[in-house]
Amino acid sequence: MSMQGLAVANETGVERKTLVEVEGLRRVFDLSKPWLNRMIEREGRVFLTAVDGVDFSIRQGETYALVGESGSGKSTIAKMAVGLLPPSAGSIAIDGADVWGKKSPEAERRMRRKIQMIFQDPFASLNPRWRVGSIIAEPIKAFGLIDDPLDRAARVGELLSLVGLDPRDGQKFPHEFSGGQRQRIAIARALASEPNFIVCDEPTSALDVSVQAQVLNLLRDLQERLGLTYLFISHNLAVVRHVATRVGVLYLGRLVEEAPARELFAAPQHPYTKMLLEAVPDIEMEGKDRQSIAGEIPNPITPPAGCHFHPRCPVRRPECDVETPPPHRVGDATVRCHLFGSAS
């Protein structure tokens, strides 16, 4: 079952169609030693459930943000969504087409073209030996979008202008640009195949705040102009508040809370969401008494039984140690916490 109900009208009252549908998504990594070692050391197999039954959907033109601590499974979901990593179970459909379903090579190409990804590190994700123009032209060639070299060069210039760079910058190499400019180049490359869905995995984490503002504003501006849909991953809640339409909070591979961004920040429901919001250093410094967060993230190989969060939870109940909380509707939010009703 999807954690959200049917498509809900957005603020302006216009119904937007669902573009991305994630259902029962699961990914298990096998961390076992080779068979012989296991026999000698008398050890069993070891599995790590990085993503444990995640459902959500994203409507066209909106930004869905995934937040959570390191190791909660954000990047694993991102990789499955763009087709880089197969899920162990569950499905991801983009515009009705299953990302991991069997399809004709033609349909496969069509789908790949429509999904792009922007990574955290603008330094590592650009080939240092290629001129920026060739980096951006590569997807245009690969998908056979523009055959004429002159037209293609013109399109590259257009893309560079679109992300706020000079068309002549195409002649330069990546190392001649600053971090923020490189992230702009990565965005231009992602836009080259005319995608409608872009997965941004910590796109500004490596950047300074002043540069981050430029990149976030650019992403938002492009969304408005091109109608893009984003899956936006970040551990910075202030950034997420600024970009997201909906937010999903991950804890050890499970979505513990999901809500429209406004609701989530105004009235967080899950104790973990509250804790995360508490932990944000605040430049307003309004002398709020920070509730110090107890404990650290548990070992994901042997996650706590019941609600994964129970060892750190300030309001834990007896059932939390044994029973996995089912989803509960609380206003516009979906919360997996026993506080909102005991499991039947």
Partner 1 sequence: MTPALSVRNLRIEIPTRRGVLTAIDDLSFDIAPGEVLGMVGESGAGKSITGSAVIGLLEPPGRVAGGEIHLAGERIDHLPPERMRHIRGKRIGMIFQDPLTSLNPLYRIGDQLVETIMTHQRMTTAEARDKAQRLLEEVGIPAAKTRLSSYPHQFSGGMRQRVVIALALAADPELVIADEPTTALDVSVQAQIIALLKRLCAERGAAVMLITHDMGVIAETADRVCVLYAGRLAELGPVRDVVKHPQHPYTIGLMSAIPSLTGDPDEALAQIPGSMPRLGAIPAGCAFNPRCGYRFDPCTVERPPPYDAGAGEAACFLHAPAFARQAPAETLRQADAAGIQLSIPNGEAAR
Which helix (H) or strand (E) covers residue 8, if one does?
Answer: none
For residue 301, the SS3 value is: coil
What one-character DSSP code corresponds to residue 329?
E
Q: Which of 5, 25, 13 is CA-nearest to residue 231?
A: 25
For residue 173, the SS3 value is: coil
The site string for partner 1 over 52-71 (x = CB under 8 A, - otherwise) reads -----------------xx-
| Stretch of 134-142, 174-182, 225-233, 302-310 lying at the interface with partner 1 (CB under 8 A) | 174-182
Smallest distance, Å, CB 329 to ligand ATP?
Answer: 26
Tell me: does residue 242 bind partner 1 (CB under 8 A).
yes
Which residue number, 70 or 210, has a Cβ lying nearer to ligand ATP?
70
Contact 72, 252 (CB under 8 A): yes
Count the helix, strand and coil residues of the chain and give each as a percent rounded to the nearest 5.
35, 20, 45
The separation between CA 73 and the C-alpha centre of its own chain, rounded to angstroms, equals: 9
Tell me: does residue 241 bind partner 1 (CB under 8 A).
yes
Smallest distance, Å, CB 270 to Mg ion?
Answer: 21
Give the one residue of 65, 115, 237, 333 binding partner 1; rule: CB under 8 A.
Answer: 237
Which residue number, 38 or 262, has a Cβ lying nearer to partner 1?
262
Which residue number, 78 or 140, has a Cβ lying nearer to Mg ion?
78
| Binding partner of 73, given ligand ATP, partner 1, Mg ion, none, CB within 5-8 angstroms per partner class | ligand ATP
For residue 198, the SS3 value is: strand
| Stretch of 119-127, 148-156, 225-233, 259-267 lying at the interface with partner 1 (CB under 8 A) | 259-267
Tell me: does residue 75 bind partner 1 (CB under 8 A).
no
Site for partner 1 in 284-323 (CB under 8 A): 284-285, 290, 292-293, 296-297
Contact 163, 219 (CB under 8 A): no
Q: Which of 266, 264, 292 is CA-nearest to residue 278?
A: 292
Contacts of residue 271, defined as CB under 8 A and 6 or more positions apart, other chains included, come to 309, 313, 314, 315, 337, 339
Cα separation, 334 vs 38, whole angstroms? 42
Tell me: does residue 216 bind partner 1 (CB under 8 A).
yes
Smallest distance, Å, CB 31 to ligand ATP?
Answer: 6
Tell me: does residue 275 bind partner 1 (CB under 8 A).
yes
Distances (CA, A) of 193 to 114, 137, 338: 7, 9, 45
Which residue number, 105 or 287, has a Cβ lying nearer to partner 1?
287
User: Which chain residues interact with ligand ATP by CB under 6 A?
Assistant: 29, 31, 48, 50, 68, 70-76, 235, 300
- The encoded tokens of residue 56 equal 């959500």
Which residue number, 218 or 249, has a Cβ lying nearer to ligand ATP?
249
Cα separation, 264 vs 327, whole angstroms? 16
How many amino acids of this chain bind partner 1 (CB under 8 A)?
43
| Binding partner of 238, given partner 1, ligand ATP, Mg ion, none, CB within 5-8 angstroms per partner class | partner 1
Cα separation, 81 vs 100, whole angstroms? 9
| Binding partner of 94, given ligand ATP, Mg ion, partner 1, none, CB within 5-8 angstroms per partner class | none
Which residue number, 48 or 97, has a Cβ lying nearer to ligand ATP?
48
Beta-bridge partner residues of 254: 251
Which residue number, 125 or 234, has a Cβ lying nearer to partner 1?
234
Binding site for Mg ion (CB under 5 A): 75
